[in-house]
Amino acid sequence: MIPMSEEAIVEAVGKISKSVVNIASVRMVQDQIFRVFPVEGVGSGVIIDKDGYILTNYHVIDDAERLRVTLSDGRVFNGKVVGVDPPTDLAVIKIETKEEIPVAKLGDSSYLKVGQIVLAVGNPFGLTGGPTVTSGIVSSLNRGIQTENGTLELIQTDAAINPGNSGGPLVNTTGEVVAINTANMPYAQGIGFAVPIDTAKAILKELVERGRVRRPWIGITSMKITRSLARYYRLPVSEGALVIQIEPFSPADNAGMRKGDIIEEIDKNKVEEPAQISEYIHKKRIGNSITVTINRNGKLIQIPLQLEENSITYNR
């Protein structure tokens, strides 16, 4: 049991609970003999604006044909996807209403400390009686988790994130949203992850206005070089990022990078693994120029290239 006053927990839950919603989705799937039938899914979300904007996870609404949003007071609305960002597993949906709706207060995840008490809140079933709440602590900050869309920096918590709570808020003891619950690892009991709210705040404007987030890219896929990998393939170095794929007509392709090149530095910053490349480039803007130092067959080559907008599009 987390040692803190009951009054603090009750007050924090009271501040956030009314703004936590249930999101029911309907996806059309096809079986082995090509019959199409609907499959329902559930998740949570949090109201972030009086105009009806709701922040949730991308995987909660991905490929959904219909969305039904149930508020804590039982009101039900149709939801519309406004913007999605799979690299952060975040999405914004909207409900249309002229009625007053409760809005959550967004906090600042940069002030979080390991050991700080947090509450995971969700509304997985849309039942009366309000959302579900679990308590725990911040177990780790900036935990890099590899996803199909790249490396995602997450907050790790031991607050139980139950099925259907994805998309719900992780709040501090003052009831401010500090993260969005995004994943629970079924094979590791007591471990949950959440996207820092500062990550969400940085892209919310673009999600609402553009429906997506414009990010710079260079257009490569790479893997970390280990000593065993270097020995097996007789590579000239034992660390760095080995380029294993280059997207046609990407900045890397246009600059002359090749499959098999080893990235050792970017703008004189040492590269030991692919995650460092993504992290550095995401801090840049579209149109910025960088210099990549590669090792090609034992020869160091500096390749200047200009960052362009990532051309990958996602379902909405």
- Catalytic residue list contains 59: yes
How many angstroms from the chain centroid is the CA of residue 164?
17
Euclidean distance between CA atoms 51 and 45, whole angstroms: 15
Euclidean distance between CA atoms 73 and 102, whole angstroms: 10
**Active-site hit among 89, 109, 222, 250:** 89
Taking Cα atoms as reference points, which of 21, 37, 18 lies closest to residue 29?
37
**Active-site hit among 25, 44, 72, 166:** 166
Dihedral pair phi/psi, residue 188, rounded to 5°: -130, 95
At residue 79, the 3 state secondary structure works out as strand
At residue 168, the 3 state secondary structure works out as coil
The DSSP secondary-structure symbol of 56 reads: E
Residue written as token pair 């007050």: 11
Taking Cα atoms as reference points, which of 171, 159, 163 lies closest to residue 196?
171
- Catalytic residue list contains 89: yes
Burial class (CB in 10 A: 0-12, 13-18, 19+), 113: exposed
Query: What is the pairing mode between strands 169-171 and 269-270?
Result: unpaired
Helix boundaries (H) for the chain: 6-16, 58-61, 197-210, 227-233, 251-255, 274-282
Q: Please spell the DSSP secondary structure of 33-53, one letter per residue.
A: T--EEEEEEEEEEEE-STTSE
**Active-site hit among 59, 62, 85, 278:** 59
Euclidean distance between CA atoms 68 and 75, whole angstroms: 10
Distances 80 to 52, 64, 77 between C-alpha atoms, Å: 10, 10, 10
Yes or no: say if 157 and 136 are a contact pair by the CB < 8 Å rule: yes
- Catalytic residue list contains 31: no
Active site (catalytic) residues: 59, 89, 166
